[in-house]
Homo-oligomer: A and B are copies of this chain.
Amino acid sequence: MSAVKVGLLGFGTIGTGVVRNFQRNSTIMEKRLGHGLELAKIADLDMTTDRGVQLEPGVLTTDVEAVISNPEIDIVIELIGGYEPAKSFILKAIANGKHIVTANKALMAIHGQEIVEAANRQGVSVMFEAAVGGGIPIISAIKENLCSNQFSSVLGILNGTCNFILTKMTEEGSDFAPVLQEAQDLGYAEADPTFDIEGVDTAHKIALLSALCFGTTVDFEQVYVEGISKITAVDIQFAEQMGYKIKLLAIGKNHGEQIEARVHPTMIPKSYQLAEVSGVFNAVRLMGDFVGPILLYGSGAGMDATASAVMGDVMAISRDYVSGARSRAPIMGYCADQINTLPIKAMSEIVSHYYLRFTTIDQPGVLAEIAGCLGKYDISIQSMIQPEGQEGGSIPIVLMTHAAKEANISSALKEIGQLDIISQPTCLIRVEPQLD
Protein backbone atom coordinates (compact mmCIF):
# COMPACT_ATOMS: atom_id res chain seq x y z
CA MET A 1 0.00 0.00 0.00
CA SER A 2 1.05 3.61 -0.41
CA ALA A 3 2.57 5.53 2.46
CA VAL A 4 0.48 7.30 5.08
CA LYS A 5 1.14 11.00 4.65
CA VAL A 6 2.05 13.19 7.58
CA GLY A 7 2.25 16.98 7.84
CA LEU A 8 4.21 18.94 10.40
CA LEU A 9 3.43 22.36 11.86
CA GLY A 10 6.50 23.98 13.41
CA PHE A 11 10.07 23.30 12.33
CA GLY A 12 11.90 24.26 15.54
CA THR A 13 14.00 22.04 17.76
CA ILE A 14 11.53 19.20 18.23
CA GLY A 15 10.32 19.49 14.67
CA THR A 16 13.88 18.99 13.54
CA GLY A 17 14.11 15.92 15.79
CA VAL A 18 11.00 14.52 14.12
CA VAL A 19 12.49 15.07 10.66
CA ARG A 20 15.69 13.34 11.78
CA ASN A 21 13.70 10.40 13.12
CA PHE A 22 11.70 10.12 9.87
CA GLN A 23 14.87 10.21 7.84
CA ARG A 24 17.12 7.96 9.86
CA ASN A 25 14.64 5.23 10.81
CA SER A 26 12.16 5.11 7.94
CA THR A 27 13.20 1.56 7.03
CA ILE A 28 12.80 0.16 10.51
CA MET A 29 9.49 1.98 10.98
CA GLU A 30 8.18 0.47 7.76
CA LYS A 31 9.30 -2.99 8.86
CA ARG A 32 7.32 -2.57 12.05
CA LEU A 33 4.25 -0.97 10.48
CA GLY A 34 3.98 -2.90 7.26
CA HIS A 35 3.48 0.36 5.41
CA GLY A 36 5.44 3.53 4.78
CA LEU A 37 5.16 6.91 6.42
CA GLU A 38 5.89 10.02 4.42
CA LEU A 39 6.55 13.45 5.85
CA ALA A 40 4.85 15.26 3.02
CA LYS A 41 4.75 18.89 4.16
CA ILE A 42 6.28 21.05 6.86
CA ALA A 43 4.86 24.49 7.56
CA ASP A 44 7.00 27.10 9.27
CA LEU A 45 7.40 30.84 8.79
CA ASP A 46 11.18 30.49 8.91
CA MET A 47 12.34 29.18 5.53
CA THR A 48 15.98 30.08 5.90
CA THR A 49 17.49 28.71 9.13
CA ASP A 50 19.75 25.72 8.57
CA ARG A 51 18.42 22.95 10.85
CA GLY A 52 21.08 20.49 9.73
CA VAL A 53 18.63 18.30 7.83
CA GLN A 54 18.01 18.05 4.10
CA LEU A 55 14.48 18.24 2.73
CA GLU A 56 13.13 17.49 -0.72
CA PRO A 57 12.22 20.67 -2.60
CA GLY A 58 8.65 21.75 -1.91
CA VAL A 59 8.33 20.02 1.47
CA LEU A 60 8.96 23.16 3.53
CA THR A 61 6.35 25.86 3.12
CA THR A 62 5.16 28.96 4.91
CA ASP A 63 1.59 28.05 4.01
CA VAL A 64 -0.09 26.32 6.94
CA GLU A 65 -3.02 25.40 4.70
CA ALA A 66 -0.69 23.16 2.70
CA VAL A 67 -0.68 20.98 5.81
CA ILE A 68 -4.00 21.37 7.57
CA SER A 69 -6.15 21.56 4.46
CA ASN A 70 -4.12 19.21 2.29
CA PRO A 71 -6.38 16.35 1.20
CA GLU A 72 -3.39 14.02 0.91
CA ILE A 73 -2.35 14.42 4.52
CA ASP A 74 -3.90 12.12 7.14
CA ILE A 75 -1.94 12.99 10.28
CA VAL A 76 -0.92 16.48 11.42
CA ILE A 77 1.86 16.94 13.97
CA GLU A 78 1.61 20.22 15.88
CA LEU A 79 4.92 21.41 17.32
CA ILE A 80 4.36 25.16 17.34
CA GLY A 81 3.68 25.31 21.08
CA GLY A 82 1.61 27.85 23.00
CA TYR A 83 -2.10 28.53 22.68
CA GLU A 84 -2.46 30.42 19.45
CA PRO A 85 -2.20 29.93 16.55
CA ALA A 86 -1.60 26.27 17.54
CA LYS A 87 -5.18 25.80 18.75
CA SER A 88 -6.82 27.28 15.68
CA PHE A 89 -4.63 25.22 13.38
CA ILE A 90 -5.43 22.03 15.28
CA LEU A 91 -9.17 22.72 15.26
CA LYS A 92 -9.12 23.43 11.54
CA ALA A 93 -7.09 20.27 10.87
CA ILE A 94 -9.60 18.28 12.92
CA ALA A 95 -12.46 19.83 11.01
CA ASN A 96 -10.69 18.66 7.87
CA GLY A 97 -10.62 15.09 9.21
CA LYS A 98 -6.94 14.98 10.16
CA HIS A 99 -5.65 13.00 13.12
CA ILE A 100 -3.53 15.09 15.48
CA VAL A 101 -0.26 14.44 17.30
CA THR A 102 0.94 17.23 19.57
CA ALA A 103 3.61 17.85 22.20
CA ASN A 104 1.72 20.91 23.47
CA LYS A 105 1.09 20.40 27.20
CA ALA A 106 -0.09 23.98 27.82
CA LEU A 107 -2.68 23.76 25.08
CA MET A 108 -3.89 20.30 26.10
CA ALA A 109 -4.05 21.19 29.80
CA ILE A 110 -5.99 24.41 29.23
CA HIS A 111 -7.97 23.83 26.02
CA GLY A 112 -7.84 20.04 25.84
CA GLN A 113 -11.55 19.59 26.36
CA GLU A 114 -12.49 21.77 23.40
CA ILE A 115 -9.98 19.93 21.21
CA VAL A 116 -11.10 16.50 22.38
CA GLU A 117 -14.77 17.34 21.77
CA ALA A 118 -13.99 18.54 18.26
CA ALA A 119 -12.00 15.39 17.58
CA ASN A 120 -14.73 13.13 18.95
CA ARG A 121 -17.30 14.82 16.72
CA GLN A 122 -15.08 14.17 13.70
CA GLY A 123 -14.04 10.68 14.81
CA VAL A 124 -10.34 11.48 14.65
CA SER A 125 -7.55 10.80 17.14
CA VAL A 126 -5.59 13.28 19.21
CA MET A 127 -2.42 11.89 20.82
CA PHE A 128 0.00 13.78 23.03
CA GLU A 129 2.54 11.37 24.52
CA ALA A 130 5.30 13.94 23.99
CA ALA A 131 3.46 16.49 26.16
CA VAL A 132 4.41 14.69 29.38
CA GLY A 133 7.79 13.23 30.28
CA GLY A 134 9.49 13.64 26.90
CA GLY A 135 10.31 10.19 25.55
CA ILE A 136 8.86 8.25 28.50
CA PRO A 137 5.89 6.15 27.35
CA ILE A 138 3.72 7.22 30.26
CA ILE A 139 0.47 8.28 28.62
CA SER A 140 0.16 5.12 26.58
CA ALA A 141 0.96 3.04 29.68
CA ILE A 142 -1.93 4.69 31.53
CA LYS A 143 -4.36 4.54 28.61
CA GLU A 144 -3.54 1.06 27.41
CA ASN A 145 -1.35 -1.42 29.25
CA LEU A 146 -2.27 -0.53 32.81
CA CYS A 147 -5.90 0.25 32.09
CA SER A 148 -7.33 -2.60 34.14
CA ASN A 149 -6.12 -0.73 37.25
CA GLN A 150 -7.65 1.88 39.46
CA PHE A 151 -4.88 4.36 40.08
CA SER A 152 -4.61 5.81 43.56
CA SER A 153 -1.70 8.13 42.85
CA VAL A 154 0.60 9.48 40.17
CA LEU A 155 3.78 11.28 41.17
CA GLY A 156 6.25 12.80 38.80
CA ILE A 157 9.45 14.68 38.29
CA LEU A 158 8.36 16.29 35.07
CA ASN A 159 10.48 19.34 34.40
CA GLY A 160 14.07 18.86 33.36
CA THR A 161 15.02 22.49 34.00
CA CYS A 162 13.91 22.40 37.62
CA ASN A 163 15.43 18.99 38.22
CA PHE A 164 18.72 20.08 36.71
CA ILE A 165 18.78 23.15 38.97
CA LEU A 166 17.85 21.25 42.15
CA THR A 167 20.37 18.50 41.36
CA LYS A 168 23.15 21.06 40.85
CA MET A 169 22.18 22.95 44.00
CA THR A 170 22.29 19.66 45.93
CA GLU A 171 25.60 18.51 44.48
CA GLU A 172 27.38 21.83 44.77
CA GLY A 173 25.70 23.45 47.76
CA SER A 174 24.91 26.44 45.55
CA ASP A 175 22.02 28.84 45.79
CA PHE A 176 19.27 29.14 43.21
CA ALA A 177 20.29 32.21 41.20
CA PRO A 178 23.77 31.17 40.04
CA VAL A 179 22.59 27.68 39.12
CA LEU A 180 19.71 29.09 37.09
CA GLN A 181 22.26 31.21 35.23
CA GLU A 182 24.33 28.10 34.56
CA ALA A 183 21.25 26.24 33.31
CA GLN A 184 20.52 29.13 30.96
CA ASP A 185 24.09 29.13 29.68
CA LEU A 186 23.84 25.39 29.00
CA GLY A 187 20.53 25.76 27.19
CA TYR A 188 18.63 23.81 29.87
CA ALA A 189 16.61 26.88 30.83
CA GLU A 190 14.88 29.43 28.64
CA ALA A 191 15.84 33.10 28.61
CA ASP A 192 12.52 33.65 30.41
CA PRO A 193 12.43 30.58 32.64
CA THR A 194 9.24 31.50 34.54
CA PHE A 195 7.02 28.72 33.16
CA ASP A 196 9.56 26.11 34.16
CA ILE A 197 10.91 27.32 37.48
CA GLU A 198 7.58 28.53 38.84
CA GLY A 199 6.09 25.09 38.23
CA VAL A 200 3.54 26.01 35.56
CA ASP A 201 4.92 23.54 33.02
CA THR A 202 4.89 20.77 35.62
CA ALA A 203 1.34 21.72 36.60
CA HIS A 204 0.16 21.39 33.00
CA LYS A 205 1.62 17.89 32.98
CA ILE A 206 0.10 16.74 36.27
CA ALA A 207 -3.26 18.10 35.15
CA LEU A 208 -3.05 15.84 32.10
CA LEU A 209 -1.78 12.81 34.05
CA SER A 210 -4.46 13.21 36.73
CA ALA A 211 -7.17 13.45 34.10
CA LEU A 212 -5.91 10.30 32.36
CA CYS A 213 -5.38 8.29 35.56
CA PHE A 214 -8.51 9.25 37.44
CA GLY A 215 -11.00 9.72 34.60
CA THR A 216 -11.93 13.29 35.35
CA THR A 217 -11.69 16.73 33.88
CA VAL A 218 -9.11 18.82 35.72
CA ASP A 219 -9.74 22.53 36.15
CA PHE A 220 -6.24 23.89 35.77
CA GLU A 221 -7.11 26.99 37.81
CA GLN A 222 -7.56 24.74 40.83
CA VAL A 223 -4.15 23.06 40.54
CA TYR A 224 -1.86 24.39 43.29
CA VAL A 225 1.43 25.54 41.80
CA GLU A 226 4.57 26.55 43.67
CA GLY A 227 7.96 26.68 41.97
CA ILE A 228 11.53 26.27 43.13
CA SER A 229 12.78 29.85 43.08
CA LYS A 230 12.57 30.19 46.86
CA ILE A 231 14.52 27.02 47.62
CA THR A 232 17.82 27.79 49.31
CA ALA A 233 21.06 25.91 49.76
CA VAL A 234 20.37 25.92 53.51
CA ASP A 235 17.13 23.97 53.13
CA ILE A 236 18.78 21.47 50.80
CA GLN A 237 21.46 20.88 53.44
CA PHE A 238 18.95 20.41 56.26
CA ALA A 239 16.97 18.04 54.03
CA GLU A 240 20.16 16.08 53.42
CA GLN A 241 20.83 15.85 57.17
CA MET A 242 17.34 14.51 57.74
CA GLY A 243 17.68 11.93 54.94
CA TYR A 244 15.68 13.72 52.27
CA LYS A 245 16.12 15.29 48.87
CA ILE A 246 14.14 18.24 47.57
CA LYS A 247 12.42 17.74 44.22
CA LEU A 248 9.81 19.69 42.33
CA LEU A 249 7.22 16.95 42.62
CA ALA A 250 3.97 16.77 40.71
CA ILE A 251 1.37 15.01 42.84
CA GLY A 252 -1.92 13.53 41.75
CA LYS A 253 -4.02 11.52 44.19
CA ASN A 254 -7.43 9.95 43.85
CA HIS A 255 -9.79 10.15 46.83
CA GLY A 256 -12.88 8.93 44.98
CA GLU A 257 -15.10 12.00 45.39
CA GLN A 258 -12.25 14.43 44.86
CA ILE A 259 -8.66 14.41 43.70
CA GLU A 260 -5.45 16.14 44.59
CA ALA A 261 -3.44 17.82 41.85
CA ARG A 262 -0.58 19.95 43.05
CA VAL A 263 2.98 20.94 42.26
CA HIS A 264 5.47 22.18 44.83
CA PRO A 265 8.97 21.58 46.11
CA THR A 266 8.75 18.35 48.07
CA MET A 267 11.10 16.47 50.34
CA ILE A 268 11.27 12.76 49.60
CA PRO A 269 13.43 10.17 51.36
CA LYS A 270 16.82 9.76 49.72
CA SER A 271 16.26 6.01 49.48
CA TYR A 272 13.33 6.44 47.06
CA GLN A 273 13.85 5.94 43.38
CA LEU A 274 12.32 9.33 42.62
CA ALA A 275 14.99 10.95 44.79
CA GLU A 276 17.63 9.39 42.53
CA VAL A 277 16.28 10.99 39.36
CA SER A 278 18.99 13.50 38.54
CA GLY A 279 19.67 16.27 36.09
CA VAL A 280 17.38 16.68 33.11
CA PHE A 281 15.84 13.22 33.46
CA ASN A 282 12.17 12.74 34.30
CA ALA A 283 10.31 9.95 36.05
CA VAL A 284 6.72 9.07 36.82
CA ARG A 285 5.54 6.75 39.57
CA LEU A 286 2.08 5.26 39.31
CA MET A 287 0.26 3.23 41.92
CA GLY A 288 -2.36 0.86 40.57
CA ASP A 289 -4.53 -1.44 42.64
CA PHE A 290 -3.41 -4.52 40.71
CA VAL A 291 -0.03 -3.65 39.24
CA GLY A 292 1.28 -2.01 42.43
CA PRO A 293 3.99 0.62 42.02
CA ILE A 294 5.33 1.27 38.53
CA LEU A 295 8.17 3.66 37.79
CA LEU A 296 8.97 4.89 34.30
CA TYR A 297 12.19 6.84 33.78
CA GLY A 298 13.84 8.51 30.82
CA SER A 299 14.78 11.72 29.03
CA GLY A 300 12.17 14.32 29.82
CA ALA A 301 13.08 16.70 27.07
CA GLY A 302 15.41 17.20 24.14
CA MET A 303 14.99 17.09 20.40
CA ASP A 304 15.43 13.36 19.90
CA ALA A 305 13.64 11.94 22.96
CA THR A 306 10.61 14.12 22.32
CA ALA A 307 10.67 13.14 18.64
CA SER A 308 10.54 9.49 19.75
CA ALA A 309 7.31 10.14 21.63
CA VAL A 310 5.82 12.11 18.73
CA MET A 311 6.68 9.35 16.27
CA GLY A 312 5.31 6.66 18.58
CA ASP A 313 1.96 8.46 18.43
CA VAL A 314 2.20 8.94 14.66
CA MET A 315 2.85 5.22 14.24
CA ALA A 316 -0.04 4.28 16.57
CA ILE A 317 -2.47 6.42 14.61
CA SER A 318 -1.06 5.11 11.36
CA ARG A 319 -1.65 1.52 12.52
CA ASP A 320 -5.22 2.36 13.46
CA TYR A 321 -5.79 4.10 10.16
CA VAL A 322 -4.41 1.32 8.01
CA SER A 323 -6.02 -1.50 10.01
CA GLY A 324 -9.41 0.15 9.74
CA ALA A 325 -9.86 0.85 13.44
CA ARG A 326 -12.44 3.51 14.23
CA SER A 327 -12.32 5.19 17.66
CA ARG A 328 -10.06 2.48 19.02
CA ALA A 329 -9.17 4.18 22.31
CA PRO A 330 -10.71 7.29 23.85
CA ILE A 331 -8.45 10.32 23.75
CA MET A 332 -8.44 10.95 27.50
CA GLY A 333 -8.37 7.28 28.51
CA TYR A 334 -12.08 7.12 29.39
CA CYS A 335 -15.05 7.23 27.05
CA ALA A 336 -16.19 10.84 26.73
CA ASP A 337 -19.53 10.21 28.43
CA GLN A 338 -17.83 8.49 31.37
CA ILE A 339 -15.52 11.29 32.38
CA ASN A 340 -16.17 12.75 35.82
CA THR A 341 -15.77 16.34 36.93
CA LEU A 342 -14.17 15.67 40.28
CA PRO A 343 -13.19 18.74 42.28
CA ILE A 344 -9.60 19.27 43.33
CA LYS A 345 -9.13 19.24 47.06
CA ALA A 346 -8.40 22.71 48.39
CA MET A 347 -4.84 23.04 49.65
CA SER A 348 -6.14 23.95 53.10
CA GLU A 349 -7.69 20.46 53.26
CA ILE A 350 -4.70 18.38 52.28
CA VAL A 351 -2.79 16.33 54.80
CA SER A 352 0.99 16.23 54.53
CA HIS A 353 4.12 16.13 56.60
CA TYR A 354 5.97 19.44 56.78
CA TYR A 355 9.52 20.70 56.99
CA LEU A 356 9.50 24.06 58.79
CA ARG A 357 12.55 26.26 59.14
CA PHE A 358 12.04 29.06 61.64
CA THR A 359 14.53 31.87 61.99
CA THR A 360 14.48 33.06 65.57
CA ILE A 361 16.43 35.27 67.91
CA ASP A 362 18.94 33.29 69.92
CA GLN A 363 17.45 33.00 73.39
CA PRO A 364 16.30 30.16 75.65
CA GLY A 365 12.65 29.08 75.45
CA VAL A 366 12.23 29.78 71.76
CA LEU A 367 11.59 26.15 70.84
CA ALA A 368 9.04 25.79 73.64
CA GLU A 369 7.11 28.75 72.35
CA ILE A 370 7.03 27.40 68.77
CA ALA A 371 6.20 23.86 69.86
CA GLY A 372 3.43 25.14 72.08
CA CYS A 373 1.83 27.01 69.23
CA LEU A 374 2.09 24.00 66.89
CA GLY A 375 0.56 21.79 69.58
CA LYS A 376 -2.40 24.13 69.85
CA TYR A 377 -3.18 23.31 66.22
CA ASP A 378 -2.75 19.54 66.59
CA ILE A 379 0.62 19.52 64.92
CA SER A 380 3.12 17.14 66.43
CA ILE A 381 6.83 17.20 65.84
CA GLN A 382 8.67 14.22 64.46
CA SER A 383 12.24 15.51 64.58
CA MET A 384 14.13 18.73 65.21
CA ILE A 385 17.49 20.28 64.37
CA GLN A 386 18.67 23.35 66.25
CA PRO A 387 22.25 24.25 65.28
CA GLU A 388 24.36 25.99 67.88
CA GLY A 389 23.74 29.72 67.79
CA GLN A 390 26.11 32.56 67.09
CA GLU A 391 25.91 35.05 69.91
CA GLY A 392 23.42 37.78 69.37
CA GLY A 393 22.44 36.57 65.90
CA SER A 394 19.48 34.74 64.44
CA ILE A 395 19.38 30.96 64.60
CA PRO A 396 17.43 28.46 62.55
CA ILE A 397 15.14 25.92 64.19
CA VAL A 398 14.26 23.14 61.80
CA LEU A 399 11.26 20.91 62.51
CA MET A 400 9.80 17.94 60.69
CA THR A 401 6.15 17.40 61.61
CA HIS A 402 4.03 14.29 61.62
CA ALA A 403 0.99 14.28 59.32
CA ALA A 404 -0.97 17.50 59.71
CA LYS A 405 -3.69 19.39 57.91
CA GLU A 406 -2.42 22.26 55.78
CA ALA A 407 -5.06 24.63 57.24
CA ASN A 408 -3.69 23.96 60.72
CA ILE A 409 -0.14 24.53 59.57
CA SER A 410 -1.15 27.85 57.99
CA SER A 411 -2.92 28.99 61.16
CA ALA A 412 -0.01 27.96 63.35
CA LEU A 413 2.56 29.65 61.11
CA LYS A 414 0.50 32.82 61.04
CA GLU A 415 0.40 32.88 64.83
CA ILE A 416 4.07 31.99 65.18
CA GLY A 417 4.95 34.70 62.66
CA GLN A 418 3.59 37.28 65.03
CA LEU A 419 5.80 36.20 67.93
CA ASP A 420 8.64 38.52 68.89
CA ILE A 421 11.13 35.65 68.76
CA ILE A 422 10.69 35.22 64.99
CA SER A 423 13.16 37.33 63.06
CA GLN A 424 12.50 36.25 59.47
CA PRO A 425 9.67 34.61 57.49
CA THR A 426 9.36 30.88 58.08
CA CYS A 427 10.24 28.45 55.30
CA LEU A 428 7.77 25.61 54.63
CA ILE A 429 8.45 22.59 52.43
CA ARG A 430 5.97 19.73 52.15
CA VAL A 431 7.23 16.19 52.72
CA GLU A 432 6.13 12.88 51.20
CA PRO A 433 7.66 10.56 53.79
CA GLN A 434 6.07 7.40 52.45
CA LEU A 435 4.55 6.41 49.19
CA ASP A 436 1.32 4.43 49.16
Contacts and interface: CB of A to CB of B under 8 A. Distances in A.
A402 interface: no
A335 B323 CA distance: 14
A320 B309 contact: no
A118 to B, nearest CB: 19
Interface stretch (A146-154, A165-173, A219-227, A357-365): A146-154
Contact of A273 (B145, B146, B273, B299): B273
B147 A32 contact: yes
A148 B308 contact: yes
Interface string A135-153: 1110011011111111000
A399 B250 CA distance: 45
A328 interface: yes
A312 B147 contact: yes
A71 interface: no
Contact of A292 (B147, B273, B299): B299
Contacts of A31: 215, 334-335, 338
Contact of A330 (B34, B309, B328): B34
Contact of A328 (B21, B24, B312, B320): B320
A291 B295 contact: no
Interface in A12-44: 17, 20-21, 24-25, 28-29, 31-34
A276 B323 CA distance: 42
A148 B315 CA distance: 8
B135 A292 contact: yes
Given A294-B136, A328-B325, A144 B315 contact: yes
Contacts of A329: 319
Interface residues on A, range: 35 or more
Contacts of A33: 335
A171 B338 CA distance: 48
Identical subunits present: 2
A307 interface: yes
Contacts of A307: 148, 290
B294 A295 contact: no
Interface string A295-312: 111110010110111011
Nearest to A314: B148
For the complex of A and B, list the 3 residue pairs with the smallest distance between their C-beta atoms, beginning with the closest. Answer: A148-B311, A137-B145, A325-B325
30 contacts: A24-B289, A25-B150, A28-B148, A28-B150, A29-B148, A31-B335, A32-B147, A32-B215, A34-B327, A34-B335, A129-B145, A135-B290, A137-B144, A140-B140, A148-B307, A148-B314, A273-B273, A288-B308, A290-B305, A290-B307, A290-B311, A291-B304, A291-B305, A293-B298, A294-B298, A295-B297, A296-B297, A297-B297, A320-B325, A324-B325
